[in-house]
Structure 1
Amino acid sequence: MTHRVLLRGSLSFLLAVLCAPLGSQQIGIPESSARVPPSGERLHYAVEWKLITAGRATLGWSGQPSNGWQTTLHIESAGLVSKLFKVQDDYKSTLAANLCATGSQMTASEGTRRRDTRIVYNSDTRKAHYLERDLVKNAVALEKEIDIPGCVYDIIGALYHLRTLNLEPGQSVQLPLSDGKKSVNARIEAQAREEIKTPAGARKTIRHEAFLFNNVLYQRPGRVFIWLTDDRQRVPVQIRVRLQFHIGTITLLLEKEEHS
């Protein structure tokens, strides 16, 4: 397998994992523990792969509970990786006041590949409409409609929902999960308290695992871990996708955070 294939598989798969839509049902979490999401923030991450900085990722969040929310995610390759295989992907979504997704768009530029993917979530009909276009061929690559629950979160909305909860190690959240093409039930589990070193210093965190692989949402074997700060902000300081050996581990490590 060439470096180009590995790079495309790693960064593209990272974006797919981060942009899969989610829904939630809490297990053993009191309602009084819920917090309100921040009104706005930008989180900047280094993307590490095989001991090198493979790219940069910026996660954006804005809005108000009364009017709904907007999310953005930008991922681009960097350094040697960018010279071998350039990636520049952008994802955005709109969420209702309760964080349920209403729509999303992902524009992917990966080597010679150009794709535009849009998903519309209809809570009334409980349907999701998925449309993926090949921008090079100016053709529809895939179009389908699937059944969804009355409320689904995209992965960013689910991440912010998770941050509003006071999960302690041993507690979990059940997730009806969809990427617009498939709908499954999955689980996020708070596992242990750990200290994570970041460019801004050491942070006390709680490690969570999202069970998305091994024939859940994705067939391939793998694991996803999320480290949230052990405080009221619950900032995601590290996200790690661990895949099979030939692809390896992809890590997002927080470099800078901006809040408003």
Structure 2
Amino acid sequence: MTKHFIALLTTIICFTVAAHSQEVTKTANNAFQPGEQITYKLKYGIFSAAEAVIKVENTPNKYEGKPAMHIVADAKTLGTFNFLFNVRNKYESFIDTKTLEPYYYTENRKEGGYKHSDKVTFDHQTNKITADKGVYPFTGNVFDFLSAYYYTRNIDVSGLKINDKLELRYFLEDGVHSLTVTYLGKEQVKCGLGTFNCLKFNPTIIPGRIFRKNSKLYLWITDDANRIPVKAHVELIVGSLVMDLSQASGLKYPLNPVKK
């Protein structure tokens, strides 16, 4: 089961608020800035299983003649889990500074004795995605994991009603896939950096070797200008996993934990 921890951590972090299945309004980039760095810990019971650090950087690279931002995520197992199944994964995405859509994505995964890499180019002029496994046509908004995380933090969700269904389209390895997310309302939730007023979501998960048929995944995102995921909880066949925001720096706006 440990070999699934990093993939699950990455999925939880990057699938935040998705786009409506109907037309949505995306604001300009008001939620983040270069220099932002966020750290998450993933816990299995009382044990810290993995950690992911996501940061935004300026880059001189240009794509389709336009400036870009560089997003980097490093994910790794911790402590005892390094002996059970050592993981060192790195993901990178270059996104348009205005539209926040991806131009280029890479991943390098080292999971025990398994290694995997991929290089993905999003051509918005021809509407084609070129990856190591082939060329794939696409229409509309399609993202990689990292660009999805930052794009969705800027979507206008002010009109959401409880039980509204949302959808995110993303590219992974050999095709374009969809994720359905349900909005569940507002809650206060506690994480490593305090208690926050949050928006609560339920992304759909597929039963398998680590999820029960009725397993639920819940995700809480700050109900403020930062729109940062602060906590997630998912049920497994045995036990559960909790993702927790443990560090945040370089934010565009101060974090505002609830004062008690």
Q: TM-score normalised to the size of structure 1?
A: 0.77
Question: Cα distance 1:27–1:223, how it changes in 2: closer, same or farther (>3 A)?
Answer: farther
Report 1:36-115 matches (<5 A).
Answer: 36-40=30-34, 41-63=36-58, 67-97=67-97, 98-115=99-116
**Aligned positions, number:** 236
Give the aligned partner of residue 148 of structure 1.
Answer: 138
Question: Cα distance 1:95–1:198, how it changes in 2: closer, same or farther (>3 A)?
Answer: same
Task: Work out whether 1:190 is the aligned partner of 2:191.
Answer: no
Q: Give 1:178 deviation, angstroms.
A: 2.3
CA offsets per residue over residues 132-170 of structure 1, 9 Å max, x none? xxxxxxxxxxx2222222542222222222221342443
Q: Give 1:13 deviation, angstroms.
A: 4.4
Q: Give 1:185 deviation, angstroms.
A: 3.6
RMSD between aligned alpha carbons?
3.1
Q: Give 1:19 deviation, angstroms.
A: 6.4
Aligned with 2:230: secondary structure?
A: strand
Unaligned 5+ segments in structure 2 are: 60-65, 252-260
Give the aligned partner of residue 135 of structure 1.
Answer: none
Amino acid at match of 2:152: L
CA offsets per residue over residues 56-89 of structure 1, 9 Å max, x none? 111112349x732221111111111112211111
Are the equivalent residues in 2 in contact too, given 1:61–1:71 (CA < 8 A)?
Answer: yes
Are the equivalent residues in 1 in contact too, given 2:187–2:200 (CA < 8 A)?
Answer: yes
How many Å separate the matches in 2 of 1:63 and 1:23?
25
Task: Work out whether 1:163 is the aligned partner of 2:157.
Answer: no
Are the equivalent residues in 2 in contact too, given 1:70–1:94 (CA < 8 A)?
Answer: yes
Task: Work out whether 1:257 is the aligned partner of 2:248.
Answer: yes
CA offsets per residue over residues 214-260 of structure 1, 9 Å max, x none? 69xxx9965543311111211211234444x04x5333200110015
Question: Cα distance 1:224–1:70, how it changes in 2: closer, same or farther (>3 A)?
Answer: farther
Question: Cα distance 1:223–1:150, how it changes in 2: closer, same or farther (>3 A)?
Answer: same
Amino acid at match of 1:70: H
How many Å separate the matches in 2 of 1:195 and 1:103?
36
How many Å separate the matches in 1 of 2:235 and 2:56?
26
Are the equivalent residues in 2 in contact too, given 1:37–1:161 (CA < 8 A)?
Answer: no
Instruction: Please say which of residues 9-18 and 200-209 is displaced more in the overlay.
Output: 9-18
Q: TM-score normalised to the size of structure 2?
A: 0.77
How many Å separate the matches in 1 of 2:11 and 2:223?
27
Calculate percent identity across the aligned residue pairs: 17
Give the aligned partner of residue 3 of structure 1.
Answer: none
Q: Give 1:120 deviation, angstroms.
A: 1.5
Question: Cα distance 1:26–1:18, how it changes in 2: closer, same or farther (>3 A)?
Answer: same
How many Å separate the matches in 1 of 2:204 and 2:185?
16
Aligned with 1:10: secondary structure?
A: helix
Question: Cα distance 1:154–1:212, how it changes in 2: closer, same or farther (>3 A)?
Answer: farther
Amino acid at match of 1:213: I
Aligned with 1:82: secondary structure?
A: helix
Are the equivalent residues in 2 in contact too, given 1:99–1:157 (CA < 8 A)?
Answer: yes
